[in-house]
C-alpha cells in the first residue's frame, strides 16, 4: 500500500488480511523494491499521487488505484496507468473483487507445459492487435497480448515466452525500453524479439538491433511476411549465439 492516510491503511489491512493477503505499507523513504509485490494499492487525491510517483511510473507491477472519483477522472494520466480503480468511499467486497481480478489478470504464472511455442504480442493499436491475433491464433502457437510497454514487460517476466513481437512506439514504456530491460535480465535474455516499426523508423530499428532485437518488420506488413518472421525466429538459435550476432551485424550494415 502506497501513500494512504493512517486511518484508511488500518481499515484496508483488516479486510485484506482476513482474505489471506500479506501486506506492507511503503512510506516515502522506503527502499523496498516494488518488484517484490504482486500488486500495489496506491492512494490518489486532489494532488495526484503524492508519494513515489516517479518510481510508480517506471515499475512494471500492476497498480490498483484508490481515491476520490472526481480528481482521478480529471487526471487521465493516473487513470490510464492503473490496472484498475476503486473510487472512495469503498466497500470491502469491491476491494477484494478488484484485488483478486487484477492479480489474476497480471499474474499469468510460469510458462505452461506445452509443446506449442508461446508468443507474446505488445502493441497499443487495437487494430494491429486484432490483426496479429487473427493471424497468429490460426497457427500452432500459444498467443498472449499486451496493450502497453509496462504490461508487456510484466507479462514477459511472468510468462517467459519463446518470442515477443514488440511495437517500438507504446505508452507508459517504449518498446526499446522494454527491450533494454529484457536483455539486461538473465531470466528473460533467451526471449527472441521481433520489433514492429513504422517504415521511417530505421534509426530506431538500428538502436533496437544494437540493444539485442533479433529481427524487425516494418508497418504496414503482409500476413505472409509476419508468419515467415515468426516461424524463422521460433526455429532460430537463441539471441546470444554467434550466428545471431552475425545476422544482426549484417542487418545493421544494410541499414
DSSP 26-60: B-TT----GGG-S-EEEE-BTTB--SSHHHHHH--
Q: How high is the pLDDT of residue 199? A: 62
Q: How many CB atoms lie within 10 A of CB 164?
A: 30
Query: Regarding predicted confidence, which is higher, 1 or 215?
Result: 215
What percentage of residues in the chain have a pLDDT greater than 90?
20
pLDDT category of residue 250 using cuts at 50, 70 and 90:
very low
pLDDT at 27 over 60: no
Average pLDDT score over residue span 50-77 = 73
Across 61-176, the runs of DSSP E, i.e. the strands, are 63-68, 84-88, 118-122, 142-146, 163-167
Identify any residues that bridge with 196 across adjacent strands, giving them in sequence order: 167, 217
Q: Which of 45-54, 113-122, 160-169, 193-202 has the lowest mean pLDDT?
A: 45-54
> Exposed e or buried b for every residue in 71-90, given b needs 16+ CB within 10 A?
ebeebeebeebbbbbbeeeb
* Tens-place pLDDT, residues 125-168: 888 888 888 888 766 788 899 999 999 999 999 889 999 999 99
Q: What pTM was estimated for this model as a whole?
A: 0.54
Cell numbers describing residue 132 = 496479429
Distance CA 51, CA 63 (A): 14
What's the pLDDT band for 106 if we cut at 50, 70, 90?
A: low
- Judged by average pLDDT, the poorest of 99-103, 120-124, 144-148, 239-243 is 239-243
Going by C-beta distance under 8 Å and a sequence separation of 6 or more, which residues neighbour residue 82? 42, 63, 64, 65
For residues 225-239, give the mean pLDDT: 80
Residue 177 predicted with pLDDT over 90: yes
Domains defined for the chain, CATH in brackets: 6-106 (3.40.50.2300), 118-254 (3.40.50.2300)
Look at residue 246 in the predicted model and tell me its pLDDT. Answer: 47
Amino acid at each position: 500500500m502506497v501513500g494512504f492516510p493512517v486511518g484508511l491503511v488500518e481499515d484496508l489491512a483488516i479486510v485484506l488480511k482476513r482474505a489471506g493477503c500479506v501486506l506492507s505499507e511503503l512510506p516515502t523513504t522506503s527502499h523496498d523494491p516494488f518488484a517484490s509485490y504482486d500488486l500495489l494499492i496506491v492512494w490518489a487525491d486532489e494532488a495526484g499521487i503524492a508519494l513515489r510517483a516517479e518510481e510508480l511510473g517506471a515499475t512494471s507491477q500492476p497498480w490498483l488505484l484508490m481515491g476520490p472519483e472526481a480528481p482521478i477522472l480529471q487526471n487521465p494520466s493516473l487513470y490510464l496507468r492503473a490496472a484498475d480503480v476503486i473510487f472512495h468511499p469503498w466497500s470491502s467486497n469491491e476491494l477484494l473483487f478488484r484485488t483478486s481480478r487484477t492479480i489474476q489478470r497480471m499474474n499469468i504464472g510460469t510458462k505452461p507445459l506445452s509443446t506449442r511455442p508461446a508468443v507474446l504480442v505488445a502493441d497499443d493499436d487495437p487494430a494491429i492487435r486484432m490483426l496479429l491475433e487473427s493471424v497468429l491464433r490460426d497457427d500452432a502457437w500459444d498467443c498472449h497480448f499486451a496493450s502497453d510497454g509496462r504490461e508487456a514487460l510484466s507479462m514477459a517476466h511472468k510468462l517467459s515466452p519463446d518470442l515477443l513481437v514488440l511495437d517500438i512506439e507504446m505508452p507508459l514504456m517504449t518498446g526499446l525500453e522494454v527491450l533494454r530491460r529484457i536483455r539486461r535480465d538473465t531470466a528473460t535474455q533467451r526471449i527472441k524479439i521481433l520489433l514492429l516499426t513504422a517504415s521511417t523508423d530505421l534509426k530506431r530499428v538500428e538502436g533496437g538491433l544494437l540493444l539485442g532485437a533479433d529481427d524487425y518488420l516494418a508497418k504496414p506488413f503482409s500476413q505472409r511476411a509476419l508468419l515467415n518472421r515468426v516461424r524463422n525466429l521460433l526455429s532460430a538459435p537463441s539471441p546470444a549465439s554467434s550466428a545471431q550476432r552475425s545476422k544482426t551485424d549484417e542487418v545493421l550494415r544494410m541499414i
